[in-house]
Amino acid sequence: MNAAKRLEIFRRFHEDNPEPKTELAYSSAFELLIAVILSAQSTDVGVNKATAKLFPVANTPQAIHALGVEGLSEYIKTIGLFNSKAKNVIETCRLLIERHGGEIPQTREELEALPGVGRKTANVVLNTAFRQLTMAVDTHIFRVSNRTGLAPGKNVVEVEKKLLKFVPKEYLLDSHHWLILHGRYVCLARKPRCGSCRIEDLCEYKHKTSDD
* Residue list, annotated binding site: 187, 194, 197, 203
The yes-or-no answer on residue 120 being catalytic is yes
Q: Which of 53, 87, 120, 208 is catalytic?
A: 120
CA distance 68 to 70: 6
Q: How many CB atoms lie within 10 A of CB 12?
A: 14
Q: Which of 138, 165, 206, 212 is catalytic?
A: 138
CA distance 191 to 197: 12
Q: Dump the DSSP string for 151-198.
A: S--SSHHHHHHHHHHHS-GGGHHHHHHHHHHHHHHTS-SSS--GGG-T
> Could you tell me which residues are annotated as the binding site for [4Fe-4S] cluster?
187, 194, 197, 203
Burial class (CB in 10 A: 0-12, 13-18, 19+), 193: middle
The yes-or-no answer on residue 191 being catalytic is no
Tell me which residues are annotated as active site. 120, 138
